[in-house]
Amino acid sequence: MTTPGIPPALRARRGAADRLPPLACGHRDPLLCLAAPPGPSTYGLTPAQFAAEVDRCRGRGWSEADLAARFDTARAAP
């Protein structure tokens, strides 16, 4: 059976993923999981880079709740 619009490599990958048990996140294919962790993170930036990134996001209209959900904002405090 062929599915139009899906290249053979993707069909093969989906078939292989369907044969595996689900991962902790619930997906069977790790490429479907989020690339970023779901909780606060520093992403390995220096303190100065981190503070600049938080300020950049704040300047783009992120709320404090959004920033706290994605970043450890206490680390970005001067």
pLDDT in tens, 11-63: 888 888 899 888 887 888 887 776 555 655 656 778 888 888 889 999 999 99
- Using CA atoms, how far residue 1 sits from 4, 6, 18, 28, in Å, is 10, 12, 16, 22
Q: Please give the model's pTM, rounded to 2 decimal places.
A: 0.43
Whole-number pLDDT of residue 20: 87
Tokens of 1: 């059976």
Q: What is the pLDDT of residue 60?
A: 93
Calpha distance 43→48 (Å, rounded)? 13
Per-residue pLDDT at 62: 92
